[in-house]
Chain A
């Protein structure tokens, strides 16, 4: 009577099953697909603008707006690891047994049952037949090891690529390593960014997760930022001249380029973005009532009084490209006892009719700008584990699929009653790539057949 396996065994079997593997693959693929269709990293307000409240509720419950970090997605990845580990525990011992196993003998009746086998007849004397088999197989396939005993017959086996059976575990290990390295990076490392205006320094990193900041163990000073363009107008190079300051001393100078990060103290800095800041602007205020022109320098966001009046002006904002009209500054004016009024003044279009506030026609004659460089800052102690995993993955896949464990058996015995005749059975088996092995086998058989022909003694 067959016994029903207990629950623990059933669970274990379920985790070792290939159906689970296929399910995880397809589930991960489908989840990833959803993540590419739904914009990621949207805030609650942005979600509410785009979707109805019911949909927003579901998106937030399932964490679809931050899917790759959602709990259930991580559970899927964890299931994949568990599946891999259980499969390995279940199959590796069998494979090792197979790899270690050495055959001592083979029965000819067994060989003729192989799907790949050939029976040949040798016309050579018995001793020559034996040495011919030994030599030909040595040459064409690999070392033939004769089995012990049997003075009336000759049998042996040859094989190559035994280790090929183990390669698939290398691939599976590499997947575990990559996921482990990624976890290491997210637990022990950080990712963030810092914007540094030319000539200033900072050690504050704004982290990408949450709104926290982190203080670096050193300070980064941006000496200069430079962007160059091709004659087509496309950007050619972004370059930040950085100095690392530690303990009050300049310890390192480096020109940071895209694709050429700077690593210092286990922390890596990347050229990620740039922008401009306005320091001050020279502005002409033409009083349309009196006709008088006031030339003034307005420091960014500082309140200045127009000479001979009580009108206060202030640059409150600045845009590099205001609705494709070029550079613009937002100026606010407060007349005595009145409500403040403001307007965007187009610096690149001095004749624009809207360049006025109240009774003033306004013209920006000079903009004192400087660049800031946007640096991505990262610490990831897991990256080496991941890179090792990558290497193992590629080497493992190549060896798993392009090598195989190929075995050959041969058995020969003299035909009773016939003096110089013997019967040869040769059989082969491979762990994969049957077609390639069949060809190799056929070639070997042909070669043997030619050599085992009786030679003319003429």
Chain B
């Protein structure tokens, strides 16, 4: 019988296939493989979307009835979904196919971690009282749209730095010919950071409004809150230095990588290393 866990298992391996297709497309400079990667990614998103919706429906069958955004497993699945949706929309609008390697890889890693880690419980669990709120969907969705955009921007930054190193070496310049130019990469990176920054802001704010009605205070310097603010400040610094100081290219790429490290710490590090009010996100 088809259920959400089967569809999400298929999703995991399909994202691995996407990664392989995109990677071989770039390595062998074969546009067909890139197209296959895109088609595979689009089909996987459809499967995953059905999987997520089924999980939502199944939670009603268990009598819990809540959106599948309530614990680490469900957030990882949603993160993978958001990364690929944002990337595909970007691909469609920019016409660039060769940047799919990193987003597909991140989506696969998120799904694999969610599915195979023994520390992560993939069962549908009931909502504890603190999470019973309409803000749950708004807060988690907006935060993860931000995180996902930063993940894509991180991938672009790495490509940018790699392309810069390789273009300095004329013998290998041809192998990156399917990739966009450095200037384009820089622009794409900036656009992704912008998109992520907007959603991270909305995510922090929805969380803050929610905290005001659940914990009685809109800001309590909980480690998760604080780290999301740190992340926000890093990306705010990036946007200001780009707009006012005219920073471009390498420095922006490094700041974006640094910002994504903060995202990862906000997401995982805070859960496992620091204790706080967000502890339900660890299991």
Contacts and interface: CB of A to CB of B under 8 A. Distances in A.
Interface string A23-36: 00110110011011
B213 A259 contact: yes
Contacts of B244: 18
B245 A258 contact: no
Given A257-B129, A258-B214, A387-B209, A36 B226 contact: yes
A393 B233 CA distance: 14
B216 A18 contact: no
Given A35-B226, A376-B216, A393 B205 contact: yes
Interface string A242-260: 0000000000000001111
A234 interface: yes
B229 A259 contact: no
Given A36-B227, A258-B132, A378 B217 contact: yes
B216 A272 contact: yes
Q: Which 6 A-B pairs have the closest CB atoms?
A: A258-B129, A270-B216, A376-B216, A29-B233, A230-B126, A36-B223
Given A32-B229, A268-B216, A390 B205 contact: yes
B198 A398 contact: yes
Contacts of B187: 435
A397 B223 contact: no
Interface stretch (B1-9, B105-113, B167-175, B235-243): B235-243
Given A386-B218, A394-B202, A397-B198, A236 B245 contact: no
B212 interface: yes
Contacts of B64: 230
Contacts of B216: 191, 261, 268, 270, 272, 376-378
Interface residues of A, number: 47
B173 to A, nearest CB: 24
Nearest to B132: A259
A272 B234 CA distance: 33
Contacts of B212: 383
A234 B125 contact: yes
Contact of B129 (A37, A182, A237): A237
Given A191-B216, A378-B216, A232 B208 contact: no
A36 B229 contact: no
Contacts of B234: 25-26, 29
Nearest to B219: A182
A281 to B, nearest CB: 30
Contacts of A376: 215-216
A287 B221 CA distance: 56
A26 B223 CA distance: 17
B181 interface: no
Given A191-B216, A383-B212, A394-B198, A259 B129 contact: yes
Contacts of B197: 397
A268 B217 CA distance: 10
B169 to A, nearest CB: 28
Contacts of B205: 390, 393-394
Given A22-B241, A191-B217, A236 B198 contact: no
Interface residues of B, number: 42
10 contacts: A18-B244, A22-B237, A25-B240, A29-B234, A35-B226, A234-B128, A272-B215, A272-B216, A383-B218, A397-B198
A141 interface: no
Contacts of A32: 221, 226-227, 229-230, 233
B263 interface: no
A95 interface: no
A414 B240 CA distance: 46
Contacts of A393: 201, 205
Given A394-B198, A397-B197, A401-B198, A33 B230 contact: yes
B162 interface: no
Nearest to B206: A390
A21 B242 CA distance: 13
B201 A397 contact: yes
A36 B270 contact: yes
A6 interface: no
Contacts of A236: 126, 129
A191 B217 CA distance: 9
Nearest to A398: B198
B274 interface: yes
Contacts of B125: 232, 234
A10 B94 CA distance: 45
Contacts of B223: 36
Contacts of A417: none
Contacts of A22: 237, 240-241
A365 interface: no
Contacts of A230: 64, 126
Interface in A24-78: 25-26, 28-29, 32-33, 35-37, 40, 68
